């Protein structure tokens, strides 16, 4: 969870060092995969499968690609759509208290100023002194080697570089290979003026020292890194034909701000009461310093965000007489009127966990509960739901309790009230005695005085806030579960990827890839196969079954190659079911098997006979 405002620079944690907590469990320490080579090999296989079978392609590949952006092929598009639908249905359609929104990507830049993104949505970035290549400061892995220094470089063309060059040898690198590599890097950076790399002379070589575990050298080039500097991640563009500085706006770096900006419109047009939520799915853009790990860290990606608006705890206390406290084992199944932010936050962590269980990721999740030191001054709690990827355990979703920070920021900047009126609160507050009201104020003043982060609210402001509250008016607080669709797609593919060794009919060993995707997210739900393609009656029947099923789910008809080969092709793309039409279907082995098919289950390999008339009823609940 990156946060803005009050924190100048926003860093992701190095995962080899963070404390990871299972949901409600004590802390344990997590380290990255112990075998980096195996992790890389696994990722290479996944990337290759994604390309080969049409899940994910490099954007603009025919022109050499485009850094940090990806295209989803036919199967990837289906997979993403299934994940999107699962999120949308779970988070909005199946709930009475969440509404949907589909806001624009381009917005008035004042939104990004008010939200804090213009001033503080930045990563710390360091630049290679040799090549100017940038790297995120917290993405530099510790390196060991020998440091060499040169007072400059020159070439027979007359080109000179009068600056100190400091670089680290790679592990096991011979000094001659090192010099050759440095010359090549310098030549690449200097362009034609420097002439041929092999003719560049490195001047005044000095061996400085051997270093161990240093994070001061660029991971690819070995060049000394400069000071860490903040780098704003928002992608600028111009809105309007003049394209001057006055027309600058940004591609949204998150979908959440549009929800805050439209909060009042949704509230006023939908006859809802707090607590309620607004959910949105859409593209977001971040000029990531070092996009990496395939689609995990992209520059263009899709977010699925919910802003769930709740009453301030003081309003809950006035209405219910108390604010329920969270404890281990608390019943989170049904929201209760006496829930304050803490239980609502726990509730959403629980709901999101159940969602991930429902798409097959239940057993690869971990939880990082941010410590008070991690939290932004306005945030009450934030948990990152982490998932095991081949390259380590990384964030899939952040769930934050953000108080009234966002709506209040927009209220101040836009001067448009973001308060709502709560009749129930007004009625309950009218029954309080002056002493009871004063006790509530004193409790809040004590809490403000005990704050360790951010400025305490002055007493006059606290009293003014309570005056509005006692009349039933407040700016709602918010719980924000914020997930990334592309990371989720990669997580389900990585989790599903498996390889088994098989020996074919000729005794040849073969590695078979099976994507054990959850049927709910699998791009193709059923493969339909006539046993033989040269038997018109089998083909006609198979076409009939295909036509029956495809109206309800994504199916694939295939009549080429052996039936085993056809099963294997579908296993490789994660199709959970196969339906084979054979001679029994046509009644050749007796009337009792007529109009039945073989239903094959990908994961167990189990095959069962199912009546065509019962096929849809059997498959639909399994895939939706
Ligand atoms: P990270 O720490 O990994 O950079 P973040 O904390 O900045 O992520 P948030 O701002 O909380 O992420 O965004 C919410 C979700 O959006 C993340 O949990 C992630 O799933 C997704 N997301 C954020 N940045 C990217 C990105 N560059 N590429 C793909 N998904 C992303």
**Among protein residues, the one whose CA lies closest to atom 19 of ligand 1:** 484
Scan for tokens 């607004």, then name that residue. 278
- Residue 483 Cβ contacting ligand 1 at under 6 Å: yes
**Among protein residues, the one whose CA lies closest to atom 12 of ligand 1:** 1
Q: Which residues pair with 225 in a beta bridge?
A: 128
Pocket test for ligand 1, best of 283, 301, 368, 480 (most atoms within 8 A of CB): 301
pLDDT at 479: 98
Positions of the chain with pLDDT lower than 50, given as ranges? 5-32
| Segment 307-361, tens digit of pLDDT | 999 999 999 999 999 999 999 999 999 999 999 999 999 999 999 999 999 999 9
Give backbone dihedrals phi and psi of 208, rounded to 5 degrees, phi first: -90, -65
Cα(190)–Cα(13) distance, rounded to whole angstroms?
35
pLDDT at 1: 55
Cα torsion at 176, 180, 186, 188 (round to 10°)? -170
pLDDT at 9: 36
- Residue 402 Cβ contacting ligand 1 at under 6 Å: no
Cα torsion at 448, 450, 454, 456 (round to 10°)? 30
Q: Residue 69, CB half-sphere, CA atoms under 13 Å: how many?
A: 14
**Among protein residues, the one whose CA lies closest to atom 29 of ligand 1:** 297
**Among protein residues, the one whose CA lies closest to atom 1 of ligand 1:** 12
- The CA distances from residue 177 to 143, 173, 180, 184, in Å, are 18, 6, 5, 11
Beta-strand pair 300-310/122-127: unpaired
CA of 456 to the centre of ligand 1 (A): 30
Q: What mean pLDDT, rounded, does the chain reach?
A: 91
Cα(40)–Cα(69) distance, rounded to whole angstroms?
20
The structure's pTM equals 0.87
Q: Which residues contact 456 (CB under 8 A, 6 or more apart)?
A: 448, 449
**Helix and strand numbers, DSSP H then E, in the chain:** 17, 31
In 10 A of CB 408, how many CB atoms?
Answer: 17
* Ligand 1 atom at minimum distance from 288 CA: 27
CA of 397 to the centre of ligand 1 (A): 7
Q: Which residues pair with 283 in a beta bridge?
A: 302
pLDDT at 17: 26
**Among protein residues, the one whose CA lies closest to atom 31 of ligand 1:** 484
pLDDT at 172: 83
- Residue 277 Cβ contacting ligand 1 at under 6 Å: no
Which contiguous run of DSSP H or E holds residue 609?
Answer: strand 607-611
Cα(128)–Cα(137) distance, rounded to whole angstroms?
11
- Residue 398 Cβ contacting ligand 1 at under 6 Å: yes
φ/ψ region of 379 (left if φ > 0, alpha if ψ in -120 to 50, else beta) reads beta
Q: Are 299 and 288 in contact (CB under 8 A)?
A: yes
- Residue 170 Cβ contacting ligand 1 at under 6 Å: no
pLDDT at 246: 87
| Helix (H/G/I), strand (E/B), else coil: 254 | coil
- Residue 482 Cβ contacting ligand 1 at under 6 Å: yes
CA of 389 to the centre of ligand 1 (A): 15
Q: Which residues contact 595 (CB under 8 A, 6 or more apart)?
A: 585, 587, 611, 612, 613
């Amino acid at each position: 969870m990156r946060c803005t405002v009050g924190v100048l620079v926003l860093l992701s944690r190095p995962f080899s060092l963070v404390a990871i907590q299972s949901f409600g469990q004590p802390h344990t320490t997590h380290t990255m995969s112990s075998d980096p080579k195996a992790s890389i090999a696994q990722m290479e296989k996944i990337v290759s499968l994604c390309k080969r079978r049409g899940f994910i392609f490099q954007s603009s590949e025919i022109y050499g690609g485009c850094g940090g952006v990806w295209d989803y092929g036919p199967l990837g598009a289906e997979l993403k759509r299934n994940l999107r639908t699962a999120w949308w249905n779970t988070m909005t359609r199946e709930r009475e208290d969440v509404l949907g929104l589909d806001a624009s990507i381009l917005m008035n830049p004042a939104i990004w100023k008010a939200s804090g993104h213009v001033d503080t949505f930045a990563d710390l970035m360091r630049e290679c002194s040799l090549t100017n290549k940038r790297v995120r400061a917290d993405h530099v892995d510790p390196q060991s080697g020998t440091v060499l220094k040169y007072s400059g470089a020159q070439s027979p063309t007359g080109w000179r570089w009068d600056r100190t060059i400091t670089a680290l040898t790679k592990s096991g690198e011979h000094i001659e290979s090192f010099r050759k590599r440095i010359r090549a890097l310098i030549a690449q950076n200097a362009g034609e003026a420097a002439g041929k790399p092999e003719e560049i002379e490195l001047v005044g070589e000095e061996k400085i020292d051997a270093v161990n575990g240093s994070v001061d050298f660029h991971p690819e080039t070995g060049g000394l890194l400069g000071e860490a500097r903040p780098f704003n991640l928002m992608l600028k563009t111009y809105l309007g034909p003049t394209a001057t500085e006055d027309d600058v706006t940004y591609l949204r770096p998150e979908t959440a701000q549009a929800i805050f900006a439209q909060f009042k419109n949704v509230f006023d047009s939908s006859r809802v009461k707090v607590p309620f939520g607004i959910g949105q799915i859409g593209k977001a853009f971040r000029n990531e310093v070092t996009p990496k790990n395939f689609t995990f860290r992209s520059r263009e990606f899709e977010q699925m965000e919910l802003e769930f608006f709740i009453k301030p705890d003081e309003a809950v206390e006035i209405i219910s007489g108390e604010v329920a406290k969270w404890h281990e084992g608390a019943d989170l199944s049904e929201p209760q009127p006496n829930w304050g932010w803490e239980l609502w936050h726990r509730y959403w962590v629980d709901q999101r966990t159940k969602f991930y269980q429902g798409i097959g990721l239940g057993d690869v999740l971990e939880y990082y509960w941010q410590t008070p030191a991690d939290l932004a001054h306005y945030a009450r709690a934030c948990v990152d739901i982490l998932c095991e990827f081949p390259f380590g355990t990384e964030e899939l979703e952040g769930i934050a309790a953000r108080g009234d920070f966002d709506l209040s920021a927009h209220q101040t900047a836009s001067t448009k009230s973001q308060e709502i009126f709560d009749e129930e609160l007004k009625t309950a507050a009218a029954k309080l005695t002056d002493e009871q009201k004063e006790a509530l104020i004193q409790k809040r003043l004590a809490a403000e005085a005990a704050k360790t982060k951010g400025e305490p609210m002055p007493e006059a402001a606290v009293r003014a806030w309570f005056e509005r509250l006692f009349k039933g008016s407040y700016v709602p607080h918010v719980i924000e579960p914020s997930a990334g669709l592309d990371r989720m797609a990669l997580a389900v593919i990585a989790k599903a990827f498996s390889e088994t060794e098989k020996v074919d009919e000729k005794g040849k060993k073969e590695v078979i890839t099976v994507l054990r995707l959850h049927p709910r997210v699998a791009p193709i739900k059923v493969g339909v196969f006539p046993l033989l393609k040269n038997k018109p009656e089998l083909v006609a029947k198979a076409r009939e079954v295909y036509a029956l099923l495809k109206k309800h789910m994504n199916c694939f008809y295939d009549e080429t190659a052996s039936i085993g080969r056809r099963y294997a092709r579908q296993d490789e793309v994660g199709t959970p079911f196969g339906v084979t039409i054979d001679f029994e279907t046509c009644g050749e082995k007796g009337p009792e098997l007529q109009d039945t098919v073989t239903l094959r289950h990908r994961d167990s390999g189990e095959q069962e006979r199912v009546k065509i008339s019962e096929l849809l009823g059997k498959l639909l609940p399994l895939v939706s």
